[in-house]
Structure 1
Amino acid sequence: MAIREIVKHPNEVLETPCKTVTEFDRQLAVLLDDMHETMIEADGVGIAAPQIGVSLRVAIVDFQEGQEPIEMINPELALFEGKETDIEGCLSFPGIFGEVERHGRIKIKAQERDGSWYELEAEGYEARAILHEMDHLDGVLFTSKIEKYVTQEELDELIRQQEEEDSL
């Protein structure tokens, strides 16, 4: 496994729809392992292959310690419901945060590293993270969906308030 360099905006690979994965081999497994290690090192909750310069429909979401990461190869959105607005950031846009509206509940169909298909239902933050990474695979950047930008100071204050509420 290796930590790869994260591609920062502007870069054409971030705005180009990715190719479908057709080879489920050792090279794909290495890519997935490298992506996960890179994401962890960068303190992210998700990463898509174009963010490390690889134009393939591969993404990972991993934000709950103790759970296996969600590896998505050739993901497709099968069902979506509701709308929720929350703050997002992106490893390819360091220091930029904004309010983005996304579906609150989703169902996806995707492939495992061995090529087998699975379905996954998600809601809330997990759904948001999955949709953010799936957008990367279509060359769609979260900045194109931001309704209101949020400064680092505003984000820090919101986090502090949330931590206070959680401790009550």
Structure 2
Amino acid sequence: MCWLTRNYNSQHPVRIMRPGVTYNVCADYSGTELRQSGSVSMATTEGAKKPVLEVVQAEGCDDSSVTFVLHDEDHTLGNSLRYMIMKNPEVEFCGYSITHPSESKINFRIQTRGGIPSVEPFRRGLNELMIVCQHVLNTFEVSMKEYKEQHKQEEAMDQF
């Protein structure tokens, strides 16, 4: 299970947190960290750094056609993120594949129109997905609170 959270530091706009693990998915996009064959690492509770996001780009290609490799993820994030990114009219193609069922990594391909860097729709898709997840969580919490209050009232009435 993982949670998408917003860190209001402009250098790390989106973070994914799991119990015992916190890592930045999207670092500063203006830097060189997500260019060519860059990667973002996460620190585990054991202290070892493990790659979370790798960017693979063919030589001679511009930034509008990039493959992102997301480690320790599956269809849950892949299909949701693909859906959010495909809603962007600047995206020509977006798809993902899982290389093998025993591997927990996703190859996530984005191609954009008009020379727009692929990291922009990727970041926007992550942010939009985070907003949707937060809305679902808030709605669930409100519904649970209402249910518990109603349940308390019914128990109080049954005691009389």
The two structures have a TM-score, normalised by structure 1, of 0.29
Taking CA–CA contacts closer than 8 Å with sequence separation of 6 or more, which of the two structures ends up with the larger relative contact order?
A: 1
